A and B are shown apart, each in its own frame.
Chain A
């Protein structure tokens, strides 16, 4: 593989050896996700007023962190992927905030 001269992200391009996850941890994560689903549905029954949105979104965020870190393996992956995801999320959040500078302050 002459032409696989990777100057960074040190590995030879084959990541099979990178990490050996087991069945167990993934099943645990799954149970966690199901519990969080149960919680969010249960909480939705209570009248939290304006807090409801925040709570639901926080739970959804936690759930997606689980999926991203374990199922999608990001926790064990190379740093670039974390940076990439960070760039993507920051872009999205900033765009959202700037849009709301308009919506919130309209008369």
Chain B
């Protein structure tokens, strides 16, 4: 094989991309840590302001709809389950079932977003938005609470959208048999991401909806 034949050049370039599932998973986990600390910053702010304005926070928390929050929690937990099941199904070489589970995940994610849309919409309708008329009359603690509420749930929602795109891409790859029962690290990575988004919600839910 001579080095200046085109095919060898082709190969030289390809050697770079060797497959290392373990490394790929490690990269994903490291990325998740940056996500954890991205939200971590907000959690520190939340804790700080909750400490400074405990009454304002308690008052504001009553204005969120616990039922809606609970429903969304259940939806996300379920979607997390279906991602895992999709991995199991693919490992058992059941491509159809795997895709089905992923569809359930995507639909759950979409329902979550629709719920959020209505929740935010209701808040906006009542003038609860930054600089909104309702907020002008609230105490500083409540203003902080809603500021954090919009930022944190908003950022979380953004992560749901990104997760959905990621899963959509993975589904296409499964369809095209790029991701298979012996090569499913990408599916697992998308799952890891999705679970992280779920875990963040597991904390957001009590912090914003439950503790008065």
Contacts and interface: CB of A to CB of B under 8 A. Distances in A.
A71 B83 contact: yes
A94 to B, nearest CB: 11
Contacts of A70: 84
Contact of A100 (B36, B40, B47, B206): B47
Interface of A: 1, 3-4, 6, 9, 11, 13-16, 20-23, 26-27, 29-30, 33-34, 37, 40-41, 44, 52-53, 56-57, 59-60, 63-64, 67-68, 70-73, 78, 80-81, 84-85, 88, 91-92, 95-96, 99-100, 103-104
Q: Do most interface residues of chain B lie in helix, strand or loop, or is the interface mixed?
A: helix
Contact of B199 (A16, A34, A68, A91): A68
B122 to A, nearest CB: 20
Contacts of A34: 74, 77
Given A68-B199, A91-B37, A99-B44, A13 B23 contact: yes
B81 A78 contact: no
B211 A27 contact: no
B210 interface: yes
Q: Do most interface residues of chain A lie in helix, strand or loop, or is the interface mixed?
A: helix
Contacts of A63: 202
Most buried by A among B29, B52, B207, B212: B29
Contact of A15 (B70, B185, B192, B205): B185
A52 B77 CA distance: 23
A14 B195 contact: no
A30 to B, nearest CB: 4
A37 B183 CA distance: 34
B18 A3 contact: yes
Contacts of B185: 15
B187 to A, nearest CB: 11
Interface residues of B, number: 55
A60 B204 CA distance: 9
Interface in B159-212: 181-185, 188, 191-192, 195-196, 198-199, 202-203, 205-207, 210-212
B81 A30 contact: yes
A73 to B, nearest CB: 8
B182 A16 contact: yes
B139 interface: no
B156 interface: no
B115 interface: no
B81 A71 contact: yes
B78 interface: yes
20 contacts: A1-B18, A6-B20, A13-B21, A15-B21, A15-B185, A16-B21, A16-B91, A23-B85, A26-B85, A26-B88, A30-B78, A37-B74, A37-B77, A57-B206, A67-B202, A71-B80, A73-B188, A81-B29, A96-B44, A96-B47
Interface in B1-44: 15, 18-23, 25-26, 29-30, 33, 36-37, 40, 43-44
